[in-house]
Amino acid sequence: MPVGHIELGGVTYRLPDGRELLRDVGFRVGDGAKVALVGTNGSGKTTLLRIIAGDIPPHSGSVVRSGGLGVMRQFVGTGRGVSTVRDLLASVAAPALVAAYGELRAASQGMHAGEAAQLRYASALVHWGEVGGYDAEVFWDECCTRTLGLPYEAAADRDVMTLSGGEQKKLVLEALLRGPDEVLLLDEPDNYLDVPGKRWLESRLADSAKTILYVSHDRELLARTAEQIITIEASTAWVYGGGFASYHDARSDRHARFEELHRRWDDERRKLADLVKRLQLAKSPKTQAAVTRLQRHEQREPELPPRSQNIRMRLSGGRTGVRVLTCSRLALTGLTAPFDLEVFYGDRVAVLGANGTGKSHFLRLLAGWPETDSVKHSGDWKLGARVVPGHFSQTHEHPELTDRTLLQILWDDCALRMEQAAPALHRYDLTGAREQTFGTLSGGQQARFQILLLELSGATLLILDEPTDNLDVASAEALEAALEEFDGTVIAVTHDRWFTRSFERFVLFGADETVREAAEPVWHQ
Ligand SMILES: Nc1ncnc2c1ncn2[C@@H]1O[C@H](COP(=O)(O)OP(=O)(O)OP(=O)(O)O)[C@@H](O)[C@H]1O
Ligand SMILES: [Mg+2]
């Protein structure tokens, strides 16, 4: 199979507010290499992938590609025009299929409106066949069977939102990895995957002959898969030709080199400044020449290593009744068998289990309190005295937040004036984004801001659905530290083995519909 490539040279990209997000970015990815793209939240990874995919043009520089390109977005499944499994699969198909599919969909909606509309539908169907639509459906059938255990016919019309986050990702990954494109761009493909899912992805990446550029914050996945690592920091990209095991040393060496260069530059600057002073005092005719030299030198200041992030989350909580949650014979309709569960004040409960076993539904049910019927179930459940749930949800669809700026949201929803909002945003490293609308934040910045809203809500029971997905390493550590301090109870769904270490109770949602407690985290059932 011919393997395609991507080559960037001198790529520069400015944000709408004028800030330079990417400067002089250049690298080559080809020959079936598996290359990781890493960087802190908001550093520009998703933007760079969008530039490579041709969604947005860079302000300068070149992007050259060969081979068919398949793209998986960070929030796959939440895009416009994607409501069914069929739409989801079509959204990652070849461009000709995407266009034919769009026409077919539009035509089918007006099908009952008379002869012209029926003709349009008929010709859309013919076109669908011509561009290979039926072959694609055979292929999709294989993908659905492999990842969902359902034939395409049974899955096609299902609402995507009824698939778990992990199932959506697996389905799209299967279609891309098994599909014809030689080059793949994958933006955080491991988010929401359960642990066996992550293992599956690791081996699929390793076995694939394709050229793959992917973003991930998962250190374990990076260690097992990356042949090269491209880092975006301080608005530019640098390439490390080795794997993750030696990456940290390479990065520290690089930073040390920057510091050394800067130190030498600073020494020289001081010497020149002294010289200028001496010449000035002596009223020497050489003064002007020395001033010019100093000015030239100052313009050539080498960059400093990027500052490290300092994120501080402050979840305060408060005392509640001892019994925080009581479930008796609770069964989530179609998802779990009846189970009993009691959670006490101060507990740290990790909810574990494979993708699609109902964990998010359970959390959504709890978050709906005092409404007890927000998710279909039988049996009883209740929250205790003074228990105020605060929900961090996996879906990043927040229509109520999308079009408001961070300062507006903090003012409208939390009555925070500028003097209070500014330090809070600072602690979450969101100062630069405060005039941006929520919808324009990067995935990790959105996650961080949602945690800030939780902090401000005064919740005493945190209900967190995969909170560390999308977060960079520094933010995940800040969250862990904040949870440690939190005076209250935490119930969190997670597939993050490292994050789970700070929990002490483990509730397993089994593939056999049982819900039971375990003494240790269980990842493979
Ligand atoms: N309209 C806008 N105005 C100002 N800044 C914007 C706008 N749209 C995006 N940005 C900023 O661009 C930056 C890059 O976002 P991008 O999504 O590429 O980051 P990322 O590296 O993928 O982060 P993450 O790890 O969180 O997914 C972010 O700081 C984001 O806030
Ligand atoms: Mg991103």
Q: Is residue 317 domain-resident?
A: no
Q: Which residue has the higher pLDDT, 80 or 46?
A: 46
170 CB near ligand 1 (under 6 Å): no
Q: Give the closest residue to 232 by CA, choosing from 75, 46, 92, 77.
A: 46
Helix (H) or strand (E) holding 129: helix 115-130
**22 close to 233: Cβ distance less than 8 angstroms:** no
Q: What is the mean pLDDT of residues 41-64?
A: 95
Residues 52 and 199 in one domain: yes
Half-sphere exposure (Cβ direction) of 406: Cα atoms closer than 13 Å: 28
Q: What is the pLDDT of residue 78?
A: 66
Q: What is the pLDDT of residue 425?
A: 93
Does position 525 have pLDDT exceeding 70, yes or no?
no
Q: Which residue has the higher pLDDT, 498 or 300?
A: 300
Q: How far apart are CA 41 and CA 32, in angstroms?
A: 27
Residues 291 and 234 in one domain: no
Q: What is the mean pLDDT of residues 453-469?
A: 91
Identify which of 76, 429, 438, 441 to mutate to test ligand 1's pocket (most ligand atoms within 8 A of the CB).
Answer: 441
Q: What is the pLDDT of residue 1?
A: 57
User: Ligand 2 centroid vs 444 CA: distance in angstroms?
Assistant: 7
Q: How far apart are CA 299 and CA 291, in angstroms?
A: 13
Q: Which atom of ligand 1 is nearest to the CA of 39?
A: 21
Does position 50 have pLDDT exceeding 90, yes or no?
yes
Virtual CA dihedral for 422, 425, 430, 436, nearest 10 degrees? -60
User: Ligand 1 centroid vs 404 CA: distance in angstroms?
Assistant: 16
Q: Is residue 146 domain-resident?
A: yes
Pairs from 289-296 (Cβ < 8 Å, separation ≥ 24):
294/269
**217 close to 244: Cβ distance less than 8 angstroms:** no
73-77, 93-97, 324-328: which range is least confident on average?
73-77
Confidence of residue 393 (pLDDT cuts 50, 70, 90): confident
The closest residue, in CA terms, to atom 18 on ligand 1 is 44
Neighbours of 93 (CB within 10 A): 24
Which ligand is closest in space to the CA of residue 445? 1
As for how many domains the chain has, the answer is 3
67 CB near ligand 1 (under 6 Å): no
User: Ligand 2 centroid vs 468 CA: distance in angstroms?
Assistant: 14
Domain boundary among 264, 299, 334: 299
Does position 146 have pLDDT exceeding 90, yes or no?
yes
191 CB near ligand 1 (under 6 Å): no
Residues 370 and 491 in one domain: yes
Q: Which residue has the higher pLDDT, 56 or 3?
A: 56
Q: What is the mean pLDDT of residues 50-54?
A: 95
Residue length of the chain: 525
Residues 163 and 268 in one domain: no
Helix (H) or strand (E) holding 380: strand 377-383
Helix (H) or strand (E) holding 108: helix 95-109
Interior angle at CA 150, CA 145 and CA 153, nearest 5: 100
Q: What is the pLDDT of residue 363?
A: 95
Q: Which residues contact 437 (CB under 8 A, 6 or more apart)?
A: 402, 403, 404, 405
15-29, 91-105, 327-341: which range is least confident on average?
91-105
Residues 388 and 441 in one domain: yes
Q: Give the closest residue to 359 by CA, choosing from 380, 375, 343, 372.
A: 375
- Alpha helices (H) in 309-389, listed in sequence order: 359-367
Any idea what the CATH number is for the domain that residue 341 is in?
Answer: 3.40.50.300
Q: Is residue 485 domain-resident?
A: yes
Q: What is the pLDDT of residue 396?
A: 59
Residues 235 and 210 in one domain: yes
Q: Is residue 306 domain-resident?
A: no
Q: What is the pLDDT of residue 315?
A: 87
Q: Which atom of ligand 1 is nearest to the CA of 447?
A: 26
Residues 56 and 163 in one domain: yes
Q: How far apart are CA 350 and CA 493, in angstroms?
A: 6
Q: Which atom of ligand 1 is nearest to the CA of 74?
A: 27
The closest residue, in CA terms, to atom 13 on ligand 1 is 42
Residues 378 and 283 in one domain: no
Residues 203 and 270 in one domain: no
Does position 244 have pLDDT exceeding 90, yes or no?
no
Does position 79 have pLDDT exceeding 80, yes or no?
no
Q: Is residue 309 domain-resident?
A: no
Give the SS3 label for residue 271: helix
3-state secondary structure 427-469: HCCCHHHCCCEHHHCCHHHHHHHHHHHHHHHCCCEEEEECCCC
Does position 378 have pLDDT exceeding 60, yes or no?
yes
Virtual CA dihedral for 420, 424, 427, 429, nearest 10 degrees? -110
Q: Which residues contact 277 (CB under 8 A, 6 or more apart)?
A: none
Domain boundary among 225, 247, 269: 247
Does position 275 have pLDDT exceeding 90, yes or no?
yes
What does the mean pLDDT of the chain come to? 91
Per-residue pLDDT of 294-340, as tens digits, reads: 999 999 988 877 777 778 888 888 899 999 999 999 999 999 999 99
Q: What is the pLDDT of residue 281?
A: 93
Q: What is the pLDDT of residue 145?
A: 95
53-62, 110-119, 218-227: which range is least confident on average?
110-119
Q: How far apart are CA 461 and CA 345, in angstroms?
A: 9
Which ligand is closest in space to the CA of residue 446? 1
The closest residue, in CA terms, to atom 7 on ligand 1 is 440
Q: How far apart are CA 220 and CA 204, in angstroms?
A: 15
Helix (H) or strand (E) holding 24: strand 20-29
CA distance readout (Å), 210 to 31, 63, 181, 239:
8, 19, 8, 20
Per-residue pLDDT of 427-443, as tens digits, reads: 998 998 999 999 999 98
Confidence of residue 370 (pLDDT cuts 50, 70, 90): confident
Q: Is residue 181 domain-resident?
A: yes
Q: What is the mean pLDDT of residues 26-49?
A: 94
Does position 18 have pLDDT exceeding 70, yes or no?
yes
Q: Which residue has the higher pLDDT, 244 or 126?
A: 126
Does position 341 have pLDDT exceeding 90, yes or no?
yes
Does position 192 have pLDDT exceeding 90, yes or no?
no
Tokens encoding 388: 């105020």
Residues 400 and 437 in one domain: yes
Supply the angle between the helices 133-148 and 115-130 in degrees, to the nearest 10: 70
Q: How far apart are CA 400 and CA 236, in angstroms?
A: 34
Partners of 179 in beta bridges = none
Q: Which residue has the higher pLDDT, 147 or 497?
A: 147
Does position 419 have pLDDT exceeding 80, yes or no?
yes
Burial of 94 (0-12, 13-18, 19+ CB in 10 A): middle
Q: What is the pLDDT of residue 96?
A: 87
Confidence of residue 163 (pLDDT cuts 50, 70, 90): confident
441 CB near ligand 1 (under 6 Å): yes
CA distance readout (Å), 473 to 51, 399, 470, 502:
25, 27, 10, 15
Residues 171 and 192 in one domain: yes
Q: What is the pLDDT of residue 416?
A: 87
Tokens encoding 181: 């494109």
Supply the angle between the helices 418-427 and 406-414 in degrees, to the nearest 10: 120
CA distance readout (Å), 384 to 145, 156, 244, 327:
43, 42, 46, 11
Q: How far apart are CA 412 and CA 456, in angstroms?
A: 13
Domain boundary among 247, 270, 289: 247
1-10, 264-273, 347-356: which range is least confident on average?
1-10
Q: Is residue 125 domain-resident?
A: yes
Confidence of residue 43 (pLDDT cuts 50, 70, 90): very high
Q: Is residue 372 domain-resident?
A: yes
Q: What is the pLDDT of residue 287?
A: 93
The closest residue, in CA terms, to atom 16 on ligand 1 is 44
Residue numbers of the domain that contains 423? 323-518
**211 close to 31: Cβ distance less than 8 angstroms:** yes
Residues 212 and 290 in one domain: no
